[in-house]
């Protein structure tokens, strides 16, 4: 189980206890934002996200929604006026006309103009999205039934070897989600944040302010790699390698889920990305590249994982940041 | 014309009809009304079966945590719910309505190909017996989604059952479509010009061409799945040189026109009902017909908007986005024309009109979310989330199914000769329209917050809206029992006789027949008086 979440602004240097006997060392003043990034109860709209691109779908959504609401008010408004005014019970007598070229031209042309505007905005956003060039880092994402594998391919022009791991549903969520487990989904928490079904044993750790290219594929069936805070999803298809990118501006832990039906545990293969500062990422990467020794932090945290199944509150992987 | 011959045939046949056994009448029927009734009853049965699957889904999603079913069974439910509702409820309902109304609307004695009509119905119970039986077999039913994407669908033990069931449904649909085209093009009474036909007949003519064009494509796609699984072909297997994405292209080349197969006849129905209860001719008849034809054409060039997230090249994303957005223009024309038909009318709000008005508003809301989904960068967020679920349930439930219900209330007095209970019809309407919105509107929010489709359990952040949605779902489902009650009452118990015209503002040939109509609708071709037709004087 990974620790943290987005910390309130100014939590610098505070070491937070995230559970019984578990300490978190992350959130060292690095997570300086309260951006709505992960699903919130009662959330009504898209997240604006946390990347250089994620505002594009957010704004496009807002503009399109606004256009739809205005058209809806006009059309439904006209309809309700008609239903009120032209009732037989109010003595309305039906007129005979069934045609009016002028209004027909108007209500064909105006939607076309609106559509051209929306298409222009969307095309512009799409061009930004499709530009995967100039990435400073590459991560290969592979979907499996029912977990993800992340392989770090290169970073700042240097190839990375031997940094790759599987990432699957955390043990506490997994125990809770069993049929009639008797466990409370509301009790699956990291800090104050409920992470039921949105937490993994090992998150994908990436640096902020870095254009990261993802190459996404799958090993068995089709999956889809989706984190709302990044602003997109991309299908992971066996035999196909899809490329896409992100550039996260705000450090934090961003959660998502597989978005393409992939079998019985489709709902149980979340995606967690932990964005850290470049310095912390360099440290983390160096740790990962060290030959595994018992004292190394990464194996230690892996070893902690099985214990979580019984632990009421799971210990955090404190040393990853 | 062929009517003289039909007339002779009728006399002979009519005598037989008088002393037909139950078996002869219903199983061996070649009568368009009886077969139409069979289709409608079958569709209603499937509506309740598919609905019960939806109740399982909503019950499991009532609150976070797994309480009722295993995840695999949940996937079987989502898959079967879709297959049963699409192929078992909505499509047969429209074919049943077409069967009943098209000969009466064009002044024909029956469908052009009555024996094939019998066959195309009686294939369906076998197709669905095959499909539904998988739920009781070892390995369970299909659980890979109604879209049957490989490689996942190839993991299913019941793939062969599903493929053969789909083949049968396809054969049934194609035969039904051929029959409808043959009837409309050959059996119209003299003077019933194409551009005097009711919009419902037009919508079915165009829909029938869509069916003939795309059902073979679906048959081909599922046959390739079958050979991939059992005969080691590698159409969709990357390891053998195939491509899983190819299936999606072929499937959605069927699938998008299929979406319009489920909505164009609904447009036709609404275009009949609104003028009747506004007592005013439909606004822009030719524009309405042309809009349906344009939507049908566009439906063939937008399929990849279901696949924006598979990693299409930029050019393809842009093409399919623009083509999809273009559909908003003819659809907008239709909505504006319905409103313009109401404007200046003399309206009353009997149950069919209430459903038609709700259709226009709620289908348009589904159209709005459709426009939002067409915008590719926004779709990368919406895709495969509950936003999509909300979208297509607005167009299919408050669109297609509301239109089917409107049509049932509109025509059932004609079919049975009895009036339904207007009070209980309205009770059904208000319950349906309220609960369906409680059911589906919150799903927009779930999707925007990032809840994926087809998941049996979810984070607690999604709990509030899921519970509201489930409550709406249970009550919407229960409301449909009122519908069943109204129908049973109208068919067997209603004392109130329907007049021939039934509705004060009703125009068209079908209302010149008695209620219920004679066994063979028009044994002698009617003389057409243009002012008796809904669209007799077309100058626009």
Tell me the pLDDT tens digit for each residue of A289-299: 887 655 444 44
Domain end: A86, A110, A130, which one?
Answer: A130
B10 annotated active-site: no
Question: Is residue B305 flagged as an active site residue?
Answer: yes
Mutation target vs A (from B225, B235, B360, B377; most A CBs, 10 A cutoff): B377
Contact in structure between A225 and A150 (CB atoms under 8 Å): no
Best mutation target among A84, A127, A173, A179 (most B Cβ atoms within 10 Å) is A179
Is A206 part of a structural domain of the chain?
Answer: yes
Out of A112, A130, A148, a domain closes at A130
What is the residue-averaged pLDDT of chain B?
93
Mean pLDDT of B444-453: 96
Q: Do A96 and B281 touch (CB under 8 A)?
A: yes
The answer to whether the Cβ–Cβ distance between A240 and B244 falls below 8 Å is yes
8 A C-beta contact, residue A99 and residue B540: yes
- With an 8 Å Cβ cutoff, is B148 touching chain A? no
State yes or no: pLDDT of B7 exceeds 60: no
Mean pLDDT of B155-162: 94
Residues A173 and A294 in one domain: yes
The predicted-structure confidence for A167-207, as pLDDT tens digits, reads as follows 999 999 999 999 999 999 999 999 889 999 999 999 999 99
pLDDT for the residue numbered A313: 39
Strand duo A147-155 + A204-207: pairing: unpaired
Whether residue A255 is contained in a domain is answered as yes
For chain A, what is the mean pLDDT?
Answer: 83
Domain-embedded: residue A155: yes
Rounded mean pLDDT, A132-161: 95
pLDDT at A294: 53
Instruction: Compute the distance between CA of residue B36 and CA of residue B38 in angstroms, rounded to an integer.
Output: 5
pLDDT at A11 over 80: no
CATH number at residue A289: 2.60.40.420
> pLDDT-derived band of residue B535, with 50, 70 and 90 as boundaries?
confident
* Boundaries of domain holding A245: 137-320
- Angstrom distance (rounded) from CA B167 to CA B434: 37
Question: What mean pLDDT is predicted for residues A227-252?
Answer: 96
Asked if residue A232 lies in contact with residue B380, where contact means CB atoms within 8 angstroms, the answer is yes
Q: What's the CA gap between A4 and A241, in Å, rounded?
A: 32
Q: Are residues A118 and A224 in the same domain?
A: no
Mean pLDDT within A55-78: 96
Whether residue A172 is contained in a domain is answered as yes
Q: What contacts A127, CB < 8 A, 6 or more positions away?
A: B314
Q: What does DSSP assign to residue B397?
A: I
Kindly state whether residues A191 and A115 are assigned to the same domain: no
Among the listed residues B25, B249, B453, B454, the single catalytic one is B453
Residues A143 and A122 in one domain: no
Q: Which of B6-15, B254-263, B390-399 has the lowest mean pLDDT?
A: B6-15
Is the domain of A178 the same as that of A237? yes
- The chain B residue lying nearest A60, using CA atoms, is B378
* Interval B133-140 mean pLDDT: 93
Q: What's the pLDDT score for residue B40? A: 97
Report how far residue B505's alpha carbon sits from residue B356's, in angstroms, rounded to the nearest whole number: 15
A228 domain residue, yes or no: yes
Average pLDDT score over residue span B63-73: 95
Q: Are residues A313 and A186 in the same domain?
A: yes
Q: Residue for token digits 């089917």?
A: B404
Cα first-last separation, chain B: 30
Domain annotation covers residue A268: yes
B335 touches chain A (CB under 8 A): yes
pLDDT grade for B531, boundaries at 50, 70 and 90:
confident
Interface pTM, i.e. ipTM: 0.90
**How confident is the model over B96-118, as a mean pLDDT?**
95
pLDDT at A4 over 80: no
- At B533 the pLDDT is 83
Q: Which domains does chain B have, with CATH numbers?
A: 27-532 (1.20.210.10)
The predicted-structure confidence for B477-499, as pLDDT tens digits, reads as follows 999 999 999 999 999 999 999 99
Residue B10: pLDDT band with limits 50, 70, 90: very low
Q: What SS3 class is residue A93?
A: coil
Q: Is the pLDDT of residue B422 over 70?
A: yes
Give the separation between CA A238 and CA A143, rounded to whole angstroms: 9
| One domain for residues A110 and A162 | no
Q: Which of A115, A240, A263 has the CB atom closest to B328's CB atom?
A: A115
Boundary (domain end) residue, out of A79, A104, A130: A130
Spatial separation of the C-alpha atoms in residues B151 and B99, rounded to whole Å: 39
Tokens matching residue A201: 């044993």
Do A107 and A190 sit in the same domain of this protein?
A: no
Average pLDDT over residues B376-398: 97
Confirm whether A175 is domain-assigned: yes
Our count of domains for chain A comes to: 2
Structure tokens at B386: 């509950």
A145 and A64 share one domain: no
Q: What is the per-residue pLDDT for A38?
A: 87
What is the predicted pLDDT for the residue at A8? 41
CA angle at residue A57 from B295 to B390, to 5 degrees?
55
pLDDT band at A306 (very low <50, low <70, confident <90, very high): very low
The Cα A285–Cα A317 span in angstroms is 15
How many angstroms away from the CA of A272 is the closest CA of chain B?
14
Residue-wise pLDDT tens digits, A40-49: 899 999 999 9
The string of pLDDT tens digits covering residues B512-530 is 999 999 998 899 989 888 8
Query: Would you call B131 exposed, middle or buried from its count of C-beta atoms within 10 A (0-12, 13-18, 19+)?
Result: buried
**Angstrom distance (rounded) from CA B288 to CA B271:** 8
Residue B256 bears catalytic tag: yes
Residue A210 lies in a domain: yes
Tell whether A107 and A214 lie within a shared domain: no
Residues in chain B: 540
Q: Say which of B287, B371, B451 has its CB closest to residue A64.
A: B371
A92 and A212 inside one domain: no
Span A263-269, average pLDDT: 95
User: Do A151 and A182 have their domain in common?
Assistant: yes
pTM: 0.89
Asked if the C-beta of B453 comes within 8 angstroms of chain A's C-beta atoms, the answer is yes
Give residue-wise pLDDT tens across range B188-224.
999 899 999 999 999 999 999 999 999 999 999 999 9
Specify the pLDDT at position B388. 97
pLDDT tens, residue by residue, B455-484: 999 999 999 999 999 999 999 999 999 999
């Amino acid at each position: 189980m990974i620790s943290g979440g987005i910390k309130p602004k100014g939590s610098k240097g505070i070491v937070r206890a995230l559970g019984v006997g578990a300490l978190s060392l992350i959130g060292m003043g690095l997570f300086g934002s309260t951006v709505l990034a992960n699903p919130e109860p009662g959330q009504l709209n898209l997240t604006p996200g946390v990347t250089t691109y994620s505002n594009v779908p957010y704004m496009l959504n807002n503009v399109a929604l606004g256009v739809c609401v205005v058209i809806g008010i006009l059309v439904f408004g006209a309809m309700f006026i008609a239903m009120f005014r032209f009732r037989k019970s109010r003595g309305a007598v039906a007129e005979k006309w069934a045609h009016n070229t002028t209004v027909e031209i108007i209500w064909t042309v105006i939607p076309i103009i609106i559509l051209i505007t929306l298409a222009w905005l969307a095309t512009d956003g799409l061009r930004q999205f499709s530009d995967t060039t100039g990435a400073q880092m590459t991560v290969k994402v592979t979907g499996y039934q029912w977990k993800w594998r992340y392989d770090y391919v290169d970073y700042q022009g240097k190839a990375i070897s031997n940094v790759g791991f599987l990432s699957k549903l955390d043990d506490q969520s997994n125990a809770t989600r069993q049929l009639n487990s008797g466990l409370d989904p509301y009790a699956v928490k990291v800090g104050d944040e409920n992470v039921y079904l949105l937490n993994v044993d090992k998150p994908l750790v990436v640096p902020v302010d870095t254009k990261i290219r993802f190459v996404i594929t799958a090993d068995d069936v089709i999956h889809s790699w989706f984190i709302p805070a990044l602003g997109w999803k991309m299908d992971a298809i066996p035999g196909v390698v899809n490329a896409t990118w992100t550039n996260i501006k705000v450090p934090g832990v961003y959660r998502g889920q597989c978005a393409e039906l992939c079998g019985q545990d489709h709902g149980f293969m979340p995606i967690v990305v932990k964005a850290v500062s470049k310095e912390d990422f360099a440290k983390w990467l160096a740790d990962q590249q060290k030959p595994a020794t018992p004292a190394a932090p990464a194996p230690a945290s892996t070893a902690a994982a099985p214990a979580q199944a019984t632990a009421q509150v799971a210990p955090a992987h404190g040393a990853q940041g | 014309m062929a009517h003289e011959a039909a007339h002779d045939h009728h006399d002979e046949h009519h005598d037989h009809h008088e002393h037909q056994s139950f078996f002869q009448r219903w199983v061996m029927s070649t009568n368009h009304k009886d077969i139409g009734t069979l289709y409608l009853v079958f569709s209603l049965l499937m509506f309740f079966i598919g609905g019960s699957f939806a109740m399982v889904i909503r019950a499991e999603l009532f609150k976070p945590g797994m309480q009722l079913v295993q995840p695999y069974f949940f996937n079987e439910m989502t898959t079967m719910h879709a297959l049963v509702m699409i192929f078992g409820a909505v499509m047969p309902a429209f074919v049943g309505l077409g069967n009943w109304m098209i000969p009466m609307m064009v002044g024909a004695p029956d469908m052009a190909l009555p024996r094939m009509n019998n066959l195309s119905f009686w294939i369906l119970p076998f197709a669905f017996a095959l499909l539904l039986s998988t739920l009781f077999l070892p390995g369970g039913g299909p659980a890979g989604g109604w879209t049957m994407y490989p490689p996942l669908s190839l993991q299913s033990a019941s793939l062969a059952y599903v493929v053969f069931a789909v083949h049968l449904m396809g054969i049934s649909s194609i035969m039904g479509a051929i029959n409808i085209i043959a009837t409309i093009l050959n059996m119209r009474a003299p003077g019933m010009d194409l551009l005097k036909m009711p919009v419902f007949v037009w919508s079915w003519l165009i829909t029938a061409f869509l069916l003939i064009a795309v059902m073979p494509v679906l048959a081909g796609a599922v046959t390739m799945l079958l050979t991939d699984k059992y005969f080691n072909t590698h159409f969709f297997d990357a390891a053998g040189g195939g491509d899983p994405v190819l299936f999606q292209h072929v499937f959605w080349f069927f699938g998008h026109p299929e979406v319009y197969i489920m909505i164009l006849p609904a447009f036709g129905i609404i275009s009949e009902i609104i003028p009747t209860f506004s007592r005013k001719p439909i606004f822009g008849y030719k524009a309405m017909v042309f809009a349906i034809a344009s939507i049908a054409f566009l439906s063939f060039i937008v399929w990849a908007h279901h696949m924006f997230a598979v990693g299409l090249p930029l050019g393809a994303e842009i093409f399919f986005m623009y083509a999809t957005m273009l559909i908003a223009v003819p659809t907008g024309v239709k909505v504006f024309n319905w409103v313009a038909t109401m404007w200046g009318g003399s309206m009353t709000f009997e149950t069919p009109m209430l459903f038609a008005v709700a259709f226009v508003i709620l289908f348009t809301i589904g159209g709005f979310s459709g426009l939002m989904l067409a915008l590719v960068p926004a779709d990368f967020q919406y895709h495969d989330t509950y936003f999509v679920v909300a979208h297509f349930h607005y167009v299919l439930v408050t669109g297609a199914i509301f239109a089917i219900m409107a049509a049932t209330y509109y025509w059932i007095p004609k079919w049975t000769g009895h009036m339904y209970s207007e009070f209980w019809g309205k009770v059904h309407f208000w319950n349906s329209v309220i609960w369906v919105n409680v059911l589906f509107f919150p799903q927009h929010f779930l999707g925007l917050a990032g809840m994926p489709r087809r998941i049996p359990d979810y984070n607690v952040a999604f709990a509030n809206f899921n519970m509201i949605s489930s409550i709406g779902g249970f009550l919407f489902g229960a409301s449909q029992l009122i519908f069943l009650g109204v129908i049973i009452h109208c068919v067997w118990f209603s004392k109130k006789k329907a007049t021939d015209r039934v509705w004060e503002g009703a125009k068209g040939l079908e209302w010149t027949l008695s209620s219920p109509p004679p066994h063979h609708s028009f044994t002698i071709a009617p003389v057409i008086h243009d002012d008796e037709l809904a669209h007799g004087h077309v100058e626009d």
